[in-house]
Chains A and B, each alone.
Chain A
Amino acid sequence: MSDQTPVTDTDDVTETPDADNTDEAVDANDASDLDTDGTEPSGEASSTSSPEDLLETEGEIAADYLEELLDIADLDGDLDMDVEGDRASVSIVGGDLSLLVGRDGEVLEALQELTRLAVYRETGERSRLMLDIGGHRADKRARLEKLAADTVATVKDSGERQALTPMSPFERKVVHDAVAAAGLTSESEGEEPRRYVVVLPQS
């Protein structure tokens, strides 16, 4: 019952390693790099339930946590819950929510971080839940997919590799996925926080 000394890091004990992915898997893990201190979770480990059930449970815990915050802050907003691939996703929509997005989504990232911690407290599993507010992430995703499509077209034309500007792990993941869907390959180069995507020509 007693916790260890705080501020030690237990690392990815619950992270399931993706076997056959290269850079994309690394990026995805980066995006979910949820810091925890050295304490044990107090919630029940849901090792008996299926992954889908766990993701739905994550969404419900997250929605409860966020709903009460909206309530207290007297902000209007509806919560949409979904499971996208191997992640739970929750979006807050409606009303003017720019307050909760912040400059460059800074407040959104903070709230996502706290929400993941709230989920972790209940499930004992590190959560990779994605939070979106007012379509901020969806808009960003659309812009990145457009950029990826444009870059793929250029690279197919020129036959030369093209490097993009540095991006966050989440942004790189979106670009990698879009490039792969368009039939080319891409890789990440450079060191965080200036890691960037390079789109490669067909070999």
Chain B
Amino acid sequence: MLAEALEHLVRGIVRHPDDVTVRDKQLRRGSILEVRVHPDDMGKVIGRRGRTAEALRSVIGALAGKGGAKIDFVDVDRRRR
């Protein structure tokens, strides 16, 4: 549900909604929602001084409840190291 909600929130604000994917990565220490967007949309999802990223974290954090949720933003061209 969290990944789906996050995908919806991000798709609604970017120029390339079809390039948005969210993966729920299960790690040993908990899960991370990995958001991939078109490189041109990176600035849009981060926002000035990270304000949009903060807003996304706040809403998803509220929906996640107690455990909270970690969100990682990646652009589709970049491989994670």
The chain A residues found within 8 Å of chain B, CB to CB, are: 2-3, 5-9, 35-39, 42, 65, 68-69, 72-74, 99-100, 102, 106-107, 109-111, 113-114, 117-118, 120-121
Chain A residues touching B, majority SS: helix
Q: With A3-B15, A6-B43, A65-B12 in contact, is A73–B58 under 8 Å at CB?
A: no
Q: With A5-B43, A6-B42, A7-B46 in contact, is A35–B62 under 8 Å at CB?
A: no
CB distance from B37 to the nearest CB of A (A): 11
Closest B residue, CB atoms, query A98? B62
Asked if A113 and B55 sit within 8 Å, CB to CB, the answer is yes
Asked if A6 and B46 sit within 8 Å, CB to CB, the answer is yes
Asked if A39 and B51 sit within 8 Å, CB to CB, the answer is no
Contact of B43 among A7, A42, A99, A113 (CB under 8 A): A7
Contact of B59 among A68, A110, A120 (CB under 8 A): A110
Asked if A39 and B52 sit within 8 Å, CB to CB, the answer is no
Which residues of chain A are near B9, meaning CB under 8 Å?
Answer: 69, 114
Residues 3-35 of chain B: 1 if any A CB is under 8 Å from the residue's CB, otherwise 0? 011001100111100000000000000000000
Closest A residue, CB atoms, query B57? A110
Asked if A69 and B13 sit within 8 Å, CB to CB, the answer is no
Asked if B8 and A107 sit within 8 Å, CB to CB, the answer is no
Asked if B55 and A69 sit within 8 Å, CB to CB, the answer is no
The chain B residues found within 8 Å of chain A, CB to CB, are: 1, 4-5, 8-9, 12-15, 40-44, 46-49, 51-52, 54-56, 58-59, 61-63, 65
Asked if B40 and A39 sit within 8 Å, CB to CB, the answer is yes
Asked if A110 and B58 sit within 8 Å, CB to CB, the answer is yes
With A114-B13, A117-B44 known, 7 other A-B pairs at CB within 8 A are A2-B40, A6-B40, A35-B48, A37-B44, A72-B4, A117-B52, A121-B14
* Bound Cα distance from A117 to B54, whole angstroms: 14
Minimum-distance CB pairs A-B, first 4: A6-B43, A110-B58, A37-B43, A110-B55
User: Can you sample 30 A-B contacts with CB below 8 Å?
Assistant: A3-B41, A6-B44, A6-B46, A7-B43, A8-B43, A9-B48, A36-B48, A37-B43, A37-B46, A37-B47, A39-B41, A39-B43, A39-B44, A68-B8, A69-B5, A69-B8, A74-B1, A99-B62, A99-B63, A100-B59, A107-B58, A107-B59, A109-B55, A110-B55, A110-B59, A111-B59, A114-B56, A117-B52, A120-B13, A121-B15
CB distance from A97 to the nearest CB of B (A): 10
